[in-house]
Amino acid sequence: MIIKVALRCVEPKLYTLIIGFYLVLLTFIYNIRLNYVMQTHLCNIFKHLIQYRMHKKATPSLLDWYHTHGRHELPWRNTEDPYHIYLSEVMLQQTQVKTVLERFYFPFLQRFPSLKTLGDAALDDVLKMWEGLGYYTRAKNLHKTATLVERLPSDIDALIALPGIGKNTAHAIAAFAFGQPVPVMEANVRRILCRIFALQTPAPKDLWDKAYDLLDTQNPFEHNQAMMDIGSGICLPKNPKCTLCPFASICTGKQTPQRYPLKQKKTVPIREEFIMVYRYNDRLSLTQRKGKFLHGLWGFESVDVPLCAAEYLGEVTHAYTHFKLVCKVYVYDELDKEQTHYFNLSEIRKLAISKVDEKILKLL
Partner DNA sequence: AACGCGTGGCC
Partner DNA sequence: TGGCCAAGCGT
CA angle 296/297/303 to nearest 5° reads 105
Q: How far is the CB of 354 from DNA (least distance, A)?
A: 3
Contact call for residues 34 and 25 (beta carbons, < 8 A):
no
Contact call for residues 44 and 228 (beta carbons, < 8 A):
no
Q: How far is the CB of 210 from DNA (least distance, A)?
A: 16
Q: How far is the CB of 272 from DNA (least distance, A)?
A: 15
Per the annotation, the verdict on 89 as an active-site residue is yes
* Interacting residues toward DNA by CB under 7 A: 74, 76-77, 88-89, 92-99, 132-137, 141, 160, 163-170, 172, 186-188, 191, 225, 228, 231-232, 237, 263, 265, 291-295, 297, 318-323, 354-356
Q: Which is nearer to DNA, 57 or 98 (CB)?
A: 98
Q: How far is the CB of 229 from DNA (least distance, A)?
A: 7
Q: Which is nearer to DNA, 20 or 253 (CB)?
A: 253
Rounded CA gap, 283 and 347, in Å?
9
What dihedral angle (degrees, nearest 10) is formed by the CA atoms of 69, 75, 80, 82? -120
Rounded CA gap, 2 and 20, in Å?
17
Q: How far is the CB of 97 from DNA (least distance, A)?
A: 5
Q: How far is the CB of 206 from DNA (least distance, A)?
A: 12
Task: At 280, give phi and psi (nearest 5°).
Answer: -150, 120
Contact call for residues 24 and 42 (beta carbons, < 8 A):
yes
The residue type found at 163 is P
Q: Which is nearer to DNA, 184 or 277 (CB)?
A: 184
DSSP state of 257: G
Q: Which is nearer to DNA, 97 or 123 (CB)?
A: 97
Kindly tell me the sign of the dihedral angle through the C-alpha atoms of 116, 117, 122, 124: negative
Among the options 89, 131, 186, 222, which is catalytic?
A: 89
Rounded CA gap, 193 and 204, in Å?
11
CA distances from residue 219 to 202, 216, 231, 241, 291 in whole angstroms, order as listed: 26, 5, 18, 25, 43
Catalytic residue numbers read 89
